[in-house]
Amino acid sequence: MLQIPETRKKRVVILGAGFGGLTVAKKLDQKKHQIVIIDRNNYHQFQPLFYQVAMAGLEPSSISFPLRKAFQNKKDVVIRVAEVISVDPIQKKVETSEGECTYDVLILALGATTNFYGNEQFAKHTYGLKSISEALQLRNDLFKDLESAILERDYEKRQGYVDITIVGGGATGVEVAGALAELKNYIFPKDYTELDYREVDIYLIQSGDKLLQGMSEKSSIAAEEFLTKMGVHVIKNTKVVEVVGDEVTLGTGQKIKSRKVVWAAGITCVKIAGLPEQLYTSGNRIKVNDQLQIIDNKDVYVVGDQALLQSEIFPKGHPQVAQVAIQMANQLSKNLNQSTSKPFVYKDRGSMATIGRNKALVDLPRFHFHGFFAWLVWLVVHLFALIGAKNKVFVFINWVWNYFTFDQSLRIILKADTKNQ
Amino acid sequence: MLQIPETRKKRVVILGAGFGGLTVAKKLDQKKHQIVIIDRNNYHQFQPLFYQVAMAGLEPSSISFPLRKAFQNKKDVVIRVAEVISVDPIQKKVETSEGECTYDVLILALGATTNFYGNEQFAKHTYGLKSISEALQLRNDLFKDLESAILERDYEKRQGYVDITIVGGGATGVEVAGALAELKNYIFPKDYTELDYREVDIYLIQSGDKLLQGMSEKSSIAAEEFLTKMGVHVIKNTKVVEVVGDEVTLGTGQKIKSRKVVWAAGITCVKIAGLPEQLYTSGNRIKVNDQLQIIDNKDVYVVGDQALLQSEIFPKGHPQVAQVAIQMANQLSKNLNQSTSKPFVYKDRGSMATIGRNKALVDLPRFHFHGFFAWLVWLVVHLFALIGAKNKVFVFINWVWNYFTFDQSLRIILKADTKNQ
């Protein structure tokens, strides 16, 4: 049993403690609501910086925040670390790995996961970047493979160890490629004197004809220029068709020796058992009205990546980014606190991506800029968005340190083994 | 093959990059020697602070340092991440998991591991604290069990989740007990409002009649007073005889409900295949002469925990602590650099242990003190001993932060899963 204390307050159960879920939980009036947060982890993770964890630039703890610390001494916020199994919207119950609980209001905020488009080979042989655990796994294997490369005298086999393929030219793909290129250019020549760092090839595969398709034309062009100058092989207009062992095959027939394939080619939501099938739209997003309610059920709301709200400007739904999730969560908590039903309207504050030191791209609604100033803006915005003063301090010091030393120093291959108790 | 480049220099192969091995590697003259460091990890770990990683006070990366970064751009230092399998002192070869290599001089610096005294039950059901991985494992399970405790309504079963038994009243046991008591007193009441934190019992089991047997009588007494005041149950003059499921049985017949048992009751060295059996003494330490050479073989040296050097003051060998390892390494590298054969003489600079904020014990050769000032001394000494300026900065900020906020904030349950590539 989930052992939720009984109170006289309305019980709001929030599934997922990402940007959407955490924001609702923080903004909901605790005098009126008992708030139950259910997440598989005991911490909130700051997704926009996963790639820096993978590339040894930041520690996991710097971009995560323990949920219990976020709600210390709040007796009406109940945290449960559990996997969601199913929802029963008729009996108003949620079933989890640790037992069930009832709700008065249910908020779905489970976010999205990597989309392998049903290809099990891709799912098995490539790295997703949708959790801190995945980021750490990629980091460990990156540095393990470099050790193996030193011992490998066969040229072809060695390329499998040192080369890396990134599939998907969206923000994640571009950021990983840029961070890898910096490792290659600044760290590898110093750390791996026995390797010829020029053998390290970084391939960025984009199925469309431009990078960063969600951003402006200028950003796409600038990103490609930055990456190409840094030595990344940007390959557009083709898809990855096969990943086997240490070989990647592209739609053009080109074969790349590369054991590490980072899959950043799309996201999808996870279906929840118990919800009617007709709720789901493309990418398993759940269709909601402008109050973020699902069809025919006023007690179930969806925020963030999982929600599909169509509007004139966004006929296919809003972008699946942190800003949308946070704004949805803000609007929803206001409505719940004040028993109002104001519609959600997205205020586009722009978007940005970073490639490397002094290299970022910022698209404001009416204005684009890139380079050093864009990079500073990117740093400041991300620092402020991080939860926790200590996290801000640690990330800031890390960035300043790396900036002046050209040396991310977190290159340890680390595992926490679990013991059968 | 280990693919060690051929040079005209004398090849010194160092097994283990702990305090002893790393110090030798740093001090050896690279003009005269090719230095090969073999370690199972790609980083040096700072053992004295493992317990703070386990107790969510520090991040693994803050107390580890990538070996390749320590020897950046040094072409005559070769680093190999591998497990040592055997040594062939006749053919002067080392066999590892990644292949073999020859040596001119071999330095054994593999340190020590947890001693379960051959009891497989203890080995399986208790936590060692001799690596960062083990520390992280204990941290993960500590916080996982607290989540389970909240869901457990049965009083007896809940005690199994919240209570912790620490076996061994040496420095590690005392430090873990103190750090746990601080978590219990400062963090649990705020983070786990649904739990009665007073249910959390911390047991420290010591087979002898005093804590910290290597330290002064005054330190032993002060440590016990500190711990008892902080609420730790110190149980002396008895051993743990059984650990099954969530129950620990003591020699007195007393039973403790406790799923987590930290084993800090002794260390032993790992035997290396290929070395003559008669070299080993108690705890598998290898007997050496005052030049740290093994018997009948002038090319094999031992430093640190693995070495047993008998002297008038230390008829049973020197204490297995960092200071001895570092001093041995210094003397050995001087001898090798200058082709001298000066005997090793240990300069005792004292010892210390910490229990918690404002509570540490310092034994100088002629002087004992404890309390706030001892604690400051402990902090400064450990900060200076850490490798890496950034590590120093991060550990310092962590400590200052924790001191003023009473809040170690690294309470995330984190795993890096490995993927079958």
| Average pLDDT of the residues in A292-320 | 96
Q: How confident is the model at residue B420, as a pLDDT?
A: 36
| Average pLDDT of the residues in A26-38 | 98
Q: How confident is the model at residue B417, as a pLDDT?
A: 53
What DSSP state is assigned to residue A271? P
Does one domain contain both A260 and A297?
no
Q: Is residue B419 part of a domain?
A: no
**Closest C-alpha to B204, from B241, B184, B231:** B231
Question: A328-369: per-residue pLDDT in tens?
Answer: 999 999 999 999 999 999 999 999 999 999 999 999 988 999
**Across the interface, do B43 and A3 touch by the CB < 8 Å criterion?**
no
Q: Is residue B418 part of a domain?
A: no
Q: H-type helices in A66-170, by residue range?
A: 67-70, 120-125, 132-151, 155-162
Residue of A nearest to B41 (CA): A413
Interface test with A, best of B58, B68, B127, B407 (most A CBs within 10 A): B68
Last residue of a domain, one of B338, B361, B382: B338
Nearest CB neighbour to B66, from listed A2, A194, A412: A412
Q: Is residue A63 part of a domain?
A: yes
Does one domain contain both B167 and B48?
no
Q: Is residue B325 part of a domain?
A: yes
Interface test with B, best of A37, A71, A191 (most B CBs within 10 A): A191
Does one domain contain both A152 and A219?
yes
**Across the interface, do B191 and A397 touch by the CB < 8 Å criterion?**
no
Q: Is residue B355 part of a domain?
A: yes
Which position has the higher pLDDT, A421 or B33? B33
**Across the interface, do A417 and B68 touch by the CB < 8 Å criterion?**
no
Does one domain contain both B166 and B206?
yes
- Please report, for the domain that includes residue A196, its CATH number: 3.50.50.100
Residue of B nearest to A135 (CA): B416
Chain A residues in contact with B150 (beta carbon < 8 A): 3
Global pTM reads 0.94
Last residue of a domain, one of B265, B285, B317: B265
Token pair recorded at residue B245: 């499921």
| Average pLDDT of the residues in A378-393 | 90
**Across the interface, do B412 and A141 touch by the CB < 8 Å criterion?**
no
| Average pLDDT of the residues in A116-145 | 94
Residue A102 has pLDDT above 50, yes or no: yes
Does one domain contain both A137 and A260?
yes
Q: Is residue B153 part of a domain?
A: yes
Give Cα separations from B285 to A74, A120, A306, B48 (angstroms): 54, 51, 59, 21
Q: How confident is the model at residue B416, as a pLDDT?
A: 57
Last residue of a domain, one of B223, B246, B265: B265
Chain A residues in contact with B259 (beta carbon < 8 A): 421
Q: Is residue B106 part of a domain?
A: yes
Residue A420 has pLDDT above 50, yes or no: no
Does one domain contain both B198 and B250?
yes
Chain A residues in contact with B42 (beta carbon < 8 A): 143, 147, 411-413
Interface test with B, best of A62, A122, A402, A412 (most B CBs within 10 A): A412
Does one domain contain both B370 and B397?
yes
Q: What is the mean pLDDT of chain A?
A: 94
The rounded distance, in Å, linking the Cα atoms of A77 and A34 is: 6
Residue of B nearest to A394 (CA): B394
Does one domain contain both B230 and B284?
no
Chain B residues in contact with A417 (beta carbon < 8 A): 133-134, 137
Q: How confident is the model at residue B66, as a pLDDT?
A: 94
Does one domain contain both B45 and B92?
yes
Q: How far is B322 from chain A (nearest CA, A)?
A: 22
Chain B residues in contact with A416 (beta carbon < 8 A): 133, 136-137, 139-140, 414-416
| Average pLDDT of the residues in A100-125 | 96
Q: How confident is the model at residue A421, as a pLDDT?
A: 34
Domain range for A139 is 120-266
**Across the interface, do A418 and B69 touch by the CB < 8 Å criterion?**
no
Does one domain contain both A262 and A302?
no
Residue bearing tokens 């309305």: A10
Q: Where are the beta strands (DSSP E) in A6-159?
A: 10-15, 33-39, 43-45, 64-66, 77-81, 84-88, 93-96, 99-102, 105-108, 113-114
Nearest CB neighbour to B414, from listed A132, A260, A401: A132
Does one domain contain both B320 and B397?
no
Give Cα separations from B276 to B136, B200, B298, B308 (angstroms): 36, 49, 14, 15
* DSSP string for A378-398: HHHHHHHHSSSHHHHHHHHHH
How many domains is chain B partitioned into structurally? 3
Does one domain contain both B96 and B218?
no
Residue A144 has pLDDT above 60, yes or no: yes
Q: Is residue B416 part of a domain?
A: no
Q: How confident is the model at residue A86, as a pLDDT?
A: 98
Residue ranges in chain B modelled with pLDDT below 70: 409, 415-421
